[in-house]
Amino acid sequence: MKRSYGNAYDSLAGIGAVIGYRTGKILFVGIRNKYCTVCDMAERNYCEPRTHKCYKNFDRNASSTRMEADAIAEGFNDSLKMHGLIYKTIIADGDSNVYKCILHNNPYSEQMVVVKKIECTNHLLRNLCKKLKIVAETTRPKTQRKRGFIEMRNVVKKSILKIRKEVIRIASVRNEEMQPHHYKATELRKDILNIPSHIFGDHNQCKERGYKCEDDCVMEKNYVPLLKLHGLYPKIETAVTYTRCDQKVR
| Gap between the Cα atoms of 50 and 187, Å rounded | 65
Angle at 158 between CA 172 and CA 125, to 5 degrees: 35
Rg (C-alpha) for the chain, rounded Å, is 24
| Gap between the Cα atoms of 3 and 11, Å rounded | 9
Give domain limits for the chain.
Answer: 13-119, 121-242
pLDDT digits (tens, 9 = 90+) for 79-97: 999 999 999 999 877 656 8
pLDDT of residue 39: 92
Query: pLDDT digit of tens for each residue in the chain (250 aa)?
Result: 455 555 556 788 888 999 999 899 999 999 999 999 999 999 999 999 999 999 999 988 888 888 889 999 999 999 999 999 999 999 877 656 889 999 999 999 999 999 998 878 888 898 899 999 999 998 887 767 788 899 999 999 999 999 999 999 988 988 888 889 889 888 889 999 999 999 999 888 887 777 767 655 556 789 999 999 999 999 999 999 877 655 444 4
| Gap between the Cα atoms of 234 and 33, Å rounded | 45
Tell me the whole-structure pTM to 2 decimals. Answer: 0.67
pLDDT digits (tens, 9 = 90+) for 17-35: 999 998 999 999 999 999 9
| CB contact at 8 A, 232 and 139 | no
| Element (DSSP H or E) covering residue 65 | helix 65-77
